[in-house]
Structure 1
Amino acid sequence: MQDRHTFEYAIIRVVPKVEREEFFNVGVILFSKRKKFLGIKYHVNPNKLKAFSTEIECDMIEEYLKAWKHICGGYPYGGKIGTFELSDRFRWLVACRSTIIQSSKTHSGLCDDPEKTLNDIFNTFVL
């Protein structure tokens, strides 16, 4: 039990028509303060996106999610937000928004390996 650390995660959703509140899951973002880990994993299924909306390009969603990945990694091209502390970057990314890309409320748990946990949650809720 000593090796287990707390983590928080949120499911990343695409909401093609915000006014209809319909969405589908495309990714997961996970943060573990003790492990100094902030990771994101995503996959946009073009067929699913097309079933929800023919107006939104899959490449556009991928570009936005790539920016989220840059912010998670703290890369200089992640902009000003990419320079924030890990916890602040996580909070900014999972903040409530009314755009096409949104996140669920945050959930918490315990894990040994945040990377493995990120993959497990991704496989369960996205794939």
Structure 2
Amino acid sequence: MHAPHTYDYAIVRVVPRVERGEFVNVGVIVSCHAQRHLAARIELDAARLRALAPGIDVQFVADALAAIPRICAGGREAGPLGALTLRERFHWLTAPRSTVVQTSPVHSGQCRNLDQAMEHLLTTMVRVDGGAA
């Protein structure tokens, strides 16, 4: 059996009115330097977002969120950021901001399967049912 991998992650948030500090968790970014892994999954629940901010431009938010997985993947599709190293892209994505799209502080974990770790984070931190039994 493989040894566990240490990984870093951040939760992607939409903060419609930064001055209020209210947010909706909409995705996860997972980075594992040892496995050369950087990936993000976004699951925007437009109804939840509109409940918090009825007048929000959901398409604008969705377009901004769509850039995150592209930046994780790197390459030309990510624009100039795509040329950065995995670590540099992760740090750029998780840097503190005062914008509508933000991330939580970075946390660490250990797992044997990074895809399963991401799925667990989405279930417990992003999806409405939160893995309730």
Q: TM-score, normalised by structure 2?
A: 0.91
Secondary structure of 1:79's counterpart equals helix
Q: Aligned equivalents of 2:61 and 2:119: distance in 1? A: 20
1:45 is matched with: 45
1:73 is matched with: 73
Task: Verify the 8 A CA contact 2:2 2:112 in the aligned structure 1.
Answer: no
Higher relative contact order (CA 8 A, sep 6+): 1
Q: Aligned equivalents of 1:39 and 1:124: distance in 2? A: 18
How big is each residue's C-alpha offset from its partner over 1:36-55, in whole Å with a ceiling of 9 and x where there is no partner?
A: 11010111111111111122
Question: Where does structure 2 lack aligned partners over 5 or more consecutive residues?
Answer: 128-133
Q: TM-score, normalised by structure 1?
A: 0.95
Alignment of 1:53-72 (within 5 A): 53-72=53-72
Residue identity (%): 38
Task: Verify the 8 A CA contact 2:31 2:38 in the aligned structure 1.
Answer: yes
Runs of 4+ in 1 over 3 A off after TM superposition: none
More off after superposition, 51-60 vs 38-47 = 51-60
Question: Where does structure 1 lack aligned partners over 5 or more consecutive residues?
Answer: none
2:32 is matched with: 32
1:113 is matched with: 113
In the alignment of these two chains, the number of paired residues is 127
